[in-house]
A and B are shown apart, each in its own frame.
Chain A
Amino acid sequence: MPGLAAQVERFSVVIAIGGIAIRVNTADADFLAMLEERYAGFVSPEADAQFDFDVDLAPRAFANPDADVSVIHRSGRWLMERGDFRAEWEPATGRGWIHQSANPYSIDAVLRIVHTLVLAGRGGFLLHSASAIRNGKALLFAGASGAGKTTISRLAPADATLLTDEISYVRKLDVPQQDERYVAFGTPFTGELAKLGENTSAPVAALYLLAKGAENRVDPVTVSDAGRELLANMLFFAEDQELVYSAFQAACDFVHCVPVYRLTFVPDARVWEMIG
């Protein structure tokens, strides 16, 4: 007698960002192909995935990405919800699920949330900033929408490697290497440039707070201003007290270790001569 339950074929792709690998499982081959294309450069077939997510695809009608995102911690699980997805993740087992339609934006949001949660416990963070590697060091350019992240990325010289024009990925090293405590990684999280960052990393040399002005100039920033502005630009989703404290401490630790400057610039490639 044949089995009553049909065996559903599952497809998997491992997406590794910032050295943290997440396996995404789906029964839909087309969705898998879309993910492989969307995260090209960050797909790691050989990587040992630390976390597993099963994606359950819903009809297209299930979508309202403009709704507010909700991330709450309950009974050892993170419950994530926006108009276009629902998801759950249990850190203890490393397993989770996502209910969404077949689009790349919902899973992208879930990945950002999961990475912020993972990084928060390790002194790292995602930051609204462009970042690039030049001369072996990573430079971060933080600012709200319109501050110039895309512009500074477009102006980057040929010898700079773009890590992202929108969301920087910063990890804290457990053991500092030659006084270098933080490392920036490339991300597939894009802004207006719509270009994936390079999947590489480098020690963070400086954080620049972007401001558009009439001239190119670099000014020092007090450590307290640096802390406040870093916090204002950190990606943060969960209304969880411990995570709030973690983000706060992470920002304070970072500005004690990494030089922070205000970079006022005109849309001119010469700005890179001042910072590279």
Chain B
Amino acid sequence: MKVNKKLYMARSPRIAARRLGEEMLVMSGQGSTLFTLNPTATILWQAADGATPLDEIVERRICSEFEVKPEEALRDAEALAADLAKHGILLISDEPMPKPVASVQESR
């Protein structure tokens, strides 16, 4: 029997982010790399509080906004979260995470 583990996401403390117009720009402190998040990645970024499991985020924030099946949306969101984690933008864990000590800079 397959047991689906919960996945939790938190924003990396090594990131600065700003919304400019319709886009979310994220700057990694390591390597001075600038990323532009697509709308789905922006939703994940904004919802990544370390406490809300990804399936809840997908159900509340993605399925309500995009016409997509929950299973498919969750599968895509897991892949996206893993990609964002690979670039050091998000931290992911199968357990809730405390809020990072360094605050993320985000405004506007």
Q: Contact: B21 with A245, CB < 8 Å?
A: no
| Interface size in chain A (residues, C-beta < 8 A) | 18
Q: Contact: B18 with A252, CB < 8 Å?
A: yes
User: With an 8 A cutoff between CB atoms, is A227 at the interface?
Assistant: yes
**What separation, in Å, do the CA atoms of A239 and B32 have in the docked complex?**
8
Q: Contact: A236 with B32, CB < 8 Å?
A: yes
**What separation, in Å, do the CA atoms of A249 and B25 have in the docked complex?**
11
Q: Contact: A249 with B34, CB < 8 Å?
A: no
Chain A residues lying within 8 Å of B21, measured Cβ to Cβ, are 222-224
Instruction: Looking at the assembled complex, report how far the CB atom of A261 sits from the nearest CB atom of chain B, in whole angstroms.
Output: 15
| Interface size in chain B (residues, C-beta < 8 A) | 17
Q: Contact: A248 with B22, CB < 8 Å?
A: no
* Interface-centre pick from A227, A236, A242, A244 (highest chain B CB count, 10 A): A244
Chain A residues lying within 8 Å of B27, measured Cβ to Cβ, are 231, 244-245, 248
Which chain A residue shows the least CB distance to B28? A244
User: With an 8 A cutoff between CB atoms, is B60 at the interface?
Assistant: no
Which residues of chain A from 243 to 260 have a CB within 8 Å of any chain B CB? 244-245, 248-249, 252, 255-256
Q: Can you spell out 23 A-B residue pairs with CB atoms less than 8 angstroms apart?
A: A222-B22, A222-B23, A224-B20, A224-B36, A227-B18, A227-B20, A228-B25, A228-B36, A231-B27, A231-B34, A239-B32, A241-B14, A241-B29, A241-B30, A242-B29, A244-B27, A244-B29, A248-B16, A249-B16, A249-B18, A255-B20, A256-B20, A256-B108
Task: Give residues in A with beta carbon < 8 Å to B.
Answer: 222-224, 226-228, 231, 236, 239, 241-242, 244-245, 248-249, 252, 255-256
